[in-house]
Chains A and B, each alone.
Chain A
Amino acid sequence: MSEDILPVKSQGCEGCPAHHAANLLKLGVDMQDWDYVVALAGNPNTGKSTVFNALTGLRQHTGNWPGKTVTRAEGGFEYADDRFKLVDLPGTYSLLSTTLDEEIARDFILFGQPDVTVVVADATRLERNLNLALQVMEITERAVLCLNLMDEAERHKLEVDHRRLARDLGIPVVPTSARYGRGLDELVETIHQVASGQVRPKPRRIQTLPPELEHSVRKLEQEVRMQYPDLPNTRWVALRLLDGDERIREAILRGELGDLSSGDPENRVNRDLAVEVA
Chain B
Amino acid sequence: METSSNVNPERLLTQARTLRWEVGANIHEQLVEALYTDAARIADRAVVRPDKPSRFDLDRTLDRLVTSRIWGFPIMLLLFTLVFWLTITGANVPSGWLATLLLDTVYPLLKSGAAMIGIPWWLDGLVLDGMYLATAWVVSVMLPPMAIFFPLFTLLEDFGYLPRLAFNLDHIFKRAGGHGKQALSMMMGFGCNAAGVIATRIIDSPRERLIAIITNNFALCNGRWPTQILIATIFLGGLAPAYLAGLVSALSVVAITLLGVLFTFVVSWGLSRTVLKGEASTFSLELPPYRPPRILQTIYTSIIDRTLYVLWRAVVFALPAGAVIWLSANLQVGGVSIAEHVVSFLDPIGILLGLNGVILVAYIVAIPANEIVIPTVLMLTVLTSGLSGVGQGAGVMFELESSASTLAIFQAGGWSLLTAVNLMLFSLIHNPCSTTIYTIYKETGSLKWTTISTFLPVVMGVVVTFFVAQVWRLFGG
Contact = CB atoms under 8 A, between A and B. Distances in A.
A258 B28 contact: no
Contacts of A253: 9, 13
Nearest to B285: A66
A126 interface: yes
Interface in B1-48: 1, 3-4, 6-9, 11-13, 15-16, 19-20, 22-23, 27-28, 30-48
B48 A61 contact: no
Nearest to B165: A65
A128 B39 CA distance: 7
Contacts of B13: 241, 249, 252-253
Given A158-B49, A223-B12, A228-B7, A216 B54 contact: no
Given A65-B162, A66-B163, A213-B27, A159 B42 contact: no
Contacts of B35: 131, 134-135, 206
A21 B373 CA distance: 50
Given A67-B181, A216-B22, A223-B15, A206 B157 contact: no
A65 B45 contact: no
B240 interface: no
A219 interface: yes
Interface string B37-68: 11111111111111000100000000000000
B47 A160 contact: yes
A262 interface: yes
Task: Classify chain A's interface size.
Answer: 35 or more
A99 B23 CA distance: 26
B207 interface: no
Contacts of A204: 38, 42
Contacts of B184: 65, 67
Interface in B287-310: 288-289, 291, 294, 300-302, 304-306
Interface string B122-164: 0000000000000000000000000000000010011110110
Given A45-B286, A227-B12, A61 B306 contact: yes
A64 B159 contact: yes
A133 B36 CA distance: 11
Contact of B204 (A100, A134, A213, A226): A100
A227 B285 CA distance: 42
B201 interface: yes
Contacts of B40: 127
B309 to A, nearest CB: 10
B199 interface: yes
Interface residues of B, number: 68
B407 interface: no
B119 interface: no
A259 B47 contact: no
B38 A206 contact: yes
Contacts of A127: 39-40, 43-44
Nearest to A261: B3
Nearest to A253: B9
A226 to B, nearest CB: 6
Interface of B: 1, 3-4, 6-9, 11-13, 15-16, 19-20, 22-23, 27-28, 30-50, 54, 154, 157-160, 162-163, 166, 181, 184, 187, 198-199, 201-202, 204, 285-286, 288-289, 291, 294, 300-302, 304-306
Q: Which 6 A-B pairs have the closest CB atoms?
A: A130-B39, A127-B43, A255-B1, A241-B16, A159-B48, A165-B46
Given A165-B42, A213-B31, 17 more contacts: A60-B305, A65-B187, A67-B202, A70-B199, A100-B204, A130-B43, A134-B39, A162-B46, A207-B38, A208-B33, A210-B30, A210-B34, A223-B15, A227-B12, A244-B27, A253-B13, A255-B7
18 contacts: A44-B286, A45-B286, A60-B305, A64-B162, A65-B157, A100-B204, A126-B46, A131-B39, A134-B39, A161-B46, A161-B47, A168-B42, A206-B35, A208-B33, A223-B12, A255-B7, A258-B3, A262-B4
